[in-house]
Amino acid sequence: MAKKKQEDPPAGSPAWMATFSDLMNLLLCFFVLLFSMSSVDEKKWEEVAASFSQTFSIFTSGATAIGDGLLISNGVSQLNQLDEYINSTGKAAEDIEEAKDILAEVEKQKMEASEELSEKVEEALEESGLDDVIEMDFTSQYVQLTINGALLFPSGSAELSDDAEAVLSQVGIILERYADSTIEIEGHTDSVPMHSARFASNNELSDARALSVFYYLLENTNLDPAIIKHSGRGEYLPVADNATPEGRALNRRVEIKIYNNLSDY
């Protein structure tokens, strides 16, 4: 008996699949409509945006929220008359002024923290008799101790002198007492070209000098090495005119920056 020939299936997708696809599209449109009609929580959005900005460095020119959950992104707004809204409420201008006030207050607190730290360090320098050989200054970020290079190193060398060890021992005590945040050691030189068997440039010399101070503090104090940074800045950040011997002497220096607890560093 001959076998019955099977009929070919109908062309195209099954009828149920077309119905299912239509249903999914309708559901998608429904949820998009619900989302477009909802408001964005301004506070939560700012927290999320700040988190992404700090972690991935995005949202620098992306979406921001103004008003009660009204979202603006790259010039595309859910608000039909944005200019009229800003002009009528003035809230955008108020937010800017409020942000400026907050930043000014933060900067003021940082400066006060550095000023308080500088007073303690200055008193300690006077007690140890180092106020005549160490220059102190401060910014809103740190208190800076500047030590003349001639006091620390022989000419063209990165080996600490005997006088340097006596000075750095007292500096180490001050750092142990008052440095609760990052410590940065910077070596600086004058602009006279450096060519020696050991150092091919002022960059190498300044880096070696900063490293020598770092090692001395590491070996003679209880400071946490994780909070100490060191770098050689070469001749590129002079504090005086390199055209005069006096200026070059001032430029040969080591700076120790003690960052306060409120600094951004």
pLDDT of residue 233: 97
pLDDT of residue 99: 80
pLDDT of residue 179: 95
Could you list the pLDDT tens digit for every one of the 265 residues in the chain?
A: 555 555 666 666 677 777 878 888 888 887 777 776 665 556 665 665 565 555 444 444 444 444 444 444 444 444 455 555 556 655 566 777 778 888 899 999 999 999 999 999 999 999 999 999 999 999 999 999 999 999 999 999 999 998 999 999 999 999 999 999 999 999 999 999 988 889 999 999 999 999 999 999 999 999 999 999 999 999 999 999 999 999 999 999 999 999 999 998 7
Residue 70 domain boundaries: 17-78
Domain count, the chain: 2
Which residues lie below 8 Å from residue 231, measured CB to CB, with a gap of 6+? 184, 185, 186, 187, 207, 210
The answer on 51 and 181 residing in a single domain is: no
The answer on 182 and 52 residing in a single domain is: no
Which residues lie below 8 Å from residue 33, measured CB to CB, with a gap of 6+? none
Q: In whole angstroms, what is the distance from residue 66 CA to residue 43 CA?
A: 10
Domain final position from 78, 97, 118:
78
The answer on 73 and 115 residing in a single domain is: no
Which residues lie below 8 Å from residue 73, measured CB to CB, with a gap of 6+? 62, 63, 64
- Supply φ then ψ for residue 86, to 5 degrees: -65, -45
Which residues lie below 8 Å from residue 136, measured CB to CB, with a gap of 6+? 118, 121, 122, 125, 143, 144, 145, 146
The SS3 assignment for 98 reads: helix
Tokens 């030590």 belong to: 147
**What percentage of the chain's residues is helix, strand, coil (to nearest 5)?**
50, 15, 35
The answer on 141 and 72 residing in a single domain is: no
CA dihedral 250, 251, 253, 259 (to 10 degrees): 110
The answer on 242 and 118 residing in a single domain is: yes
pLDDT of residue 7: 60
pLDDT of residue 62: 46
- Is residue 84 in a domain? no
Q: What is the CA 176 to chain-centroid distance, rounded?
A: 24
The answer on 141 and 42 residing in a single domain is: no
Report the CATH number at residue 141. 3.30.1330.60
pLDDT of residue 122: 97
